[in-house]
Structure 1
Amino acid sequence: MNRPKEDIEEQPTPSISDTSSQSPNKHGQSVSLENEDDLTRTKSAISIAETLSLYHEFGFVAIICMAQLMTQAGLGQCLSILHVIGDSFGLSNPGELSWLIAGYSLTVGTFILVAGRLGDLFGYKKMIIVGFSWFSLWSMVAGLSVYSNHVLFIFARVLQGIGPAILLPNSLGILGATYHPGPRKDMVFAFFGATAPVGSVFGSVFGGLFALTWWPWAFFSFALALVVCAVLGVVFIPNPPPKPLAKEPLRQKLRDLDIFGGLSGITALVLINFAWNQAPIVGWQRAYVFVTLMIGALLIPVFFYIELRVAPNPLIPFNALTTDVAFVLACVACGWACFGIWIYYIWQFFQVLRLGSPLLASAWISPVAISGVGAAVATGYLLSRIKPAWVMAMALTMFTVGAIIIATAPVDQSYWVQAFVCTVIMPWGMDMSFPAATVILSNTVAKKHQGIAASLVNTVVNYSISLALGFAGTIEVNVNNGGTTPEDGLIGFRSAWYLAIGLSGLGMVISIAFVLKSYRGDRRKTSGS
């Protein structure tokens, strides 16, 4: 894990007093860390991870992985007791219930880009601590909303999602800045991805347990756990050398924040998502639904204009991105949109049609945790041995197969036939696509853009989940004849899953094109040399 003292001392470490920092190695000695440009240019330079003791590195990776675990636990804890919460507020409309999930994913996906820039400006570690603290505060408010109404609960869920939006890009950004490209980095990113299904099951199980007494306790206990994570983060997360942006005066940082670009981009994403998730509740005939969709669509070109022509330091440095990045993000969008539909409707299938309690449904969904860990470890191994494009193609295949299996499952069939099989297969799509995408982007962009790379992947993942739920909800309410009978309910659920199959199938086509492109690029390099 750590180099011997002699090896570290032999490394050339340029003396740059204004950008270096000191970090103890496992022998208790201080090792000078170069700035990011030096780390990029000097192959022999040590990474920050190499300066940490085994105990310190384990704690660091564990806390960073907790950011992903808690993000997915925040989703799972509400999924498992969705109908319990809905009953306490008198909600039964499927569109209104889906908002309890979509509102959370909406802000997770919408605010990530801005949160990634905040990490570049103020430091990854600082923003991670802020993220855990914010997440904790609004989790507590979500629980306290039991004394108010569902509007406060949805409002709290929406603001709760800003916590993960801060955590995810800065956690991935600090991993990208801490580890050099290689098998070790691939495995750490794979571990980070593995915590997603584990976190979802963790949240659903504890949500179901606390719902046996009083559902707000699920959110109160969650808030306390997040406070513990914030405290441990102060202890274990190292401070990477500050970026040039971080050393600027506050006034310059505000200019670099790209406020107008952020406002136009966030407003566009929120309005489009709101329209698609509100339409299943009130219908497209309501003028405000259509108007918000149109305004959001019109703001998209405004955002691109600001980023390409106006902003001196844009949120998304399009000139630093390649066509490979576009292929990867398209694959991720299709795959995780499929996953968002799959995970929401399989919970409805288990609880509404198979009449499972929150704990029984959690047990039925629990294979995703075990399978997800296996998928993440396998992905960490594969990324060092085959083209990442192939890993992405395999992930989209798993998404598609998993969705097909559950979409054709009869209600009265044994759990162990199709339902169990799809919970084993689906995590391979999640835990192959996410690490592959983050590694590809992290290795593609320069070190100064690590936060942006992490932000793009997480934005696409979470926004795709939320937007796809709006699409699926619109289809469901228009084909289920009101969903008053189990047969009609099944028609609605299956129609949503058919959409998921179509989305992941599109992703498969894009991933195959990405594979072919990668081989074509290799041939060009070979012929050129």
Structure 2
Amino acid sequence: MPSEDEIAVPSLTSPKSLVLMATTCLTMIASIGSMFIMLPIIGKDLVINPASLKWLVTSYALTSGCFLLLFGRLADIFGRKVVFLVGCLWFIAFTIGCGFATQEGGLTLIIMRALTGIGGAAMIPACIGILAHAFPPSYARTVAFSLFQAAAPCGGVLGMVIGGIVTQYAPISWRALFFVLAGIGGIVFVGAMIVFPKDHDFSEDKRVDWLGALLITAGLVLLLFCLGQGEIAPQQWNTPSFIGWEQYVEAHLNFPPLMKLNLFARGKWKFSAVLLISFLVNGAFSSWQYWATLYYQNYENLSPILTVVRFLPMTVVGFSVNIIFAAVAAHISGYTLITFGCFGTAIASVLFALISPDAVYWAFGFPAAIFDVLGADIIMAGGSLYVSLVAMPEEQSLAGGVFNTITQVVLPCISDNY
């Protein structure tokens, strides 16, 4: 394998690199755009039962999280740019459909959101593989992945900001957010057509383990359903089929499995440790954001725009943290960064657990917003970078899909407890 000095590393300031990074960041922002801020308004407009309102968030996260592995593998086999562009068109089409949903009870909107999530599942792992190929291991890759992962929490906050503004001021209220997201998707599609590199044949074996894909997708759906509705699920936690099948394929068949199980043992099991930490921290981050929104709107009776104002510090801090991370990652121990990130998100949760309704925003809400995104951004940036380092070139998108599956499946678990 050539050394880092022998690999041509593109300049971060070149127009192509800048547009490529901007396109991938916009992809993350479009796919993560938060709906939390609009839930009360949508519920009133479409007369949605409060018990069903959670599915506006859960349906997207469910399909997006459950299809990431499949599309990650397909991107590695058939081409990351092709899979990305198809997923982007799918995302745009059904996002526009969400804006036209009018059925009372919200069933049409929920179905549209679920179908939109499939497009997001195709784009995210393809982006990770494209970034890993475009930027070999170097400082440039650290910056690229830091910016990409910064777009996740920043995208959630920006989604809340845009959602709050359009909900309160746009003539078509909450529907405007979906048209804005579709517009961002259109920009992403054009950018990807221009700057994403031509697909390379990393995988010689083009066969797909469709049974494994069916098992992992169905297994994740059942798992998430059990986490939220476990008391009524007939099998509850009994969904080990995928692991058993993949083990059988690797051991007894001359056929490429959907995912090699030794991926979890990479780096002396550090890969698995990173996944577990990312799952827990992202769960705490998303939980805080979800319940903080409900606290401000339902308990303090604040308008959407005033609720948005209380989340604005997260955007600035989130972006700043990832810029700083890119500069210091090579000089500070990964253990130190991870520990600091975990403590940051934990402090945010403790602050809201102890919040006094009579206290000013600056006493609890402001520091909690800062610490919450501080911890999540450090873990997401560091985790995605590590995953790209331990994954082989032919499995970059798949490994990225595994990482983002772990960080996204937590959302249905949270909203199912609403």
Shared fold, TM over 0.5? yes
Cα 1:48–1:240 change in 2 (3 A) is farther
User: Tell me, what secondary structure is at the counterpart of 1:49?
Assistant: coil
Partner residue of 2:150? Answer: 194
Identity %: 23
Partner residue of 2:67? Answer: 111
Tell me the distance in 1 between the aligned counterparts of 2:395 and 2:358: 51
Tell me the distance in 2 between the aligned counterparts of 1:47 and 1:390: 31
Q: Indicate whether 1:432 and 2:392 are aligned.
A: no
Partner residue of 2:366? Answer: 420
Partner residue of 1:67? Answer: 27
Once the two structures are superposed, the pairs formed by residues 75-90 of structure 1 within 5 Å of their partners are 76=34, 78-90=35-47
1:398 Cα offset (Å) = 1.1
Partner residue of 1:393? Answer: 339
1:59 Cα offset (Å) = 0.7
Tell me the distance in 1 between the aligned counterparts of 2:408 and 2:249: 22
Q: 2:85 aligns with which of 116, 129, 145?
A: 129
1:303 Cα offset (Å) = 4.5
Partner residue of 1:32? Answer: none
Equivalent pair of 1:395/1:432 in contact (CA under 8 Å): yes
Partner residue of 1:225? Answer: 184
Equivalent pair of 2:87/2:122 in contact (CA under 8 Å): yes
Amino acid paired to 1:46: I
Tell me the distance in 2 between the aligned counterparts of 1:464 and 1:360: 27
1:82 Cα offset (Å) = 0.6
Q: Indicate whether 1:210 and 2:166 are aligned.
A: yes
Partner residue of 1:158? Answer: 114
Spell out, residue by residue over 1:65-85, the C-alpha distance to the aligned partner (whole angstroms, 9 max, x if none): 111111221xx1x21111111
Q: 1:314 aligns with which of 253, 257, 279?
A: 257
Amino acid paired to 2:257: P
Partner residue of 1:408? Answer: 354
Cα 1:326–1:58 change in 2 (3 A) is same
Equivalent pair of 1:402/1:425 in contact (CA under 8 Å): yes
Tell me the distance in 2 between the aligned counterparts of 1:172 and 1:144: 32
Q: 1:146 aligns with which of 82, 97, 102?
A: 102
Equivalent pair of 1:182/1:384 in contact (CA under 8 Å): no
1:62 Cα offset (Å) = 0.5
1:409 Cα offset (Å) = 0.8
Partner residue of 2:220? Answer: 269
Tell me the distance in 2 between the aligned counterparts of 1:53 and 1:386: 25
Amino acid paired to 2:31: T
Cα 1:318–1:146 change in 2 (3 A) is same
1:374 Cα offset (Å) = 1.4
Tell me the distance in 2 between the aligned counterparts of 1:290 and 1:203: 33
Cα 1:402–1:371 change in 2 (3 A) is same
Q: Indicate whether 1:340 and 2:340 are aligned.
A: no
Equivalent pair of 1:265/1:303 in contact (CA under 8 Å): no
Partner residue of 2:304? Answer: 358
Once the two structures are superposed, the pairs formed by residues 475-486 of structure 1 within 5 Å of their partners are none
Instruction: Give the length in aligned residue pairs.
Output: 411
Spell out, residue by residue over 1:138-159, the C-alpha distance to the aligned partner (whole angstroms, 9 max, x if none): 1112122224641111111111
Equivalent pair of 1:48/1:240 in contact (CA under 8 Å): no
Equivalent pair of 2:247/2:261 in contact (CA under 8 Å): no
CA RMSD, 1 decimal: 2.1
Amino acid paired to 1:217: A
1:177 Cα offset (Å) = 1.3
Equivalent pair of 1:307/1:315 in contact (CA under 8 Å): no
TM-score (norm 1): 0.73
Amino acid paired to 1:316: M
Cα 1:90–1:439 change in 2 (3 A) is same
User: Tell me, what secondary structure is at the counterpart of 2:358?
Assistant: coil
Partner residue of 1:299? Answer: 241
Equivalent pair of 2:46/2:106 in contact (CA under 8 Å): yes
Partner residue of 1:46? Answer: 7
Tell me the distance in 1 between the aligned counterparts of 2:241 and 2:309: 44
Larger RCO, structures 1/2 (Cα 8 Å, 6+ apart): 2
Q: Indicate whether 1:370 and 2:311 are aligned.
A: no
Q: Which has the larger radius of gyration?
A: 1
1:301 Cα offset (Å) = 4.4
Tell me the distance in 2 between the aligned counterparts of 1:468 and 1:187: 31
Q: Indicate whether 1:259 and 2:210 are aligned.
A: yes
Equivalent pair of 1:63/1:233 in contact (CA under 8 Å): yes
Cα 1:425–1:146 change in 2 (3 A) is same
Equivalent pair of 2:46/2:103 in contact (CA under 8 Å): no
Amino acid paired to 2:175: P
1:210 Cα offset (Å) = 2.5
Q: Indicate whether 1:324 and 2:270 are aligned.
A: yes
Tell me the distance in 2 between the aligned counterparts of 1:389 and 1:111: 31
Q: 2:141 aligns with which of 152, 168, 185?
A: 185
Tell me the distance in 2 between the aligned counterparts of 1:327 and 1:211: 40
Tell me the distance in 2 between the aligned counterparts of 1:329 and 1:72: 19
1:441 Cα offset (Å) = 1.5
Equivalent pair of 1:350/1:356 in contact (CA under 8 Å): yes
Equivalent pair of 2:250/2:256 in contact (CA under 8 Å): no
1:221 Cα offset (Å) = 2.9
Q: 1:241 aligns with which of 188, 200, 204?
A: 200
Spell out, residue by residue over 1:16-69, the C-alpha distance to the aligned partner (whole angstroms, 9 max, x if none): xxxxxxxxxxxxxxxxxxxxxxxx43544434635x981111111110111111
Cα 1:407–1:300 change in 2 (3 A) is farther
Equivalent pair of 1:261/1:307 in contact (CA under 8 Å): no
Tell me the distance in 1 between the aligned counterparts of 2:284 and 2:211: 32
User: Tell me, what secondary structure is at the counterpart of 1:365?
Assistant: helix
List gaps (5 residues or longer) in structure 2: none
Tell me the distance in 2 between the aligned counterparts of 1:319 and 1:305: 10
Q: 1:176 aligns with which of 132, 136, 139?
A: 132
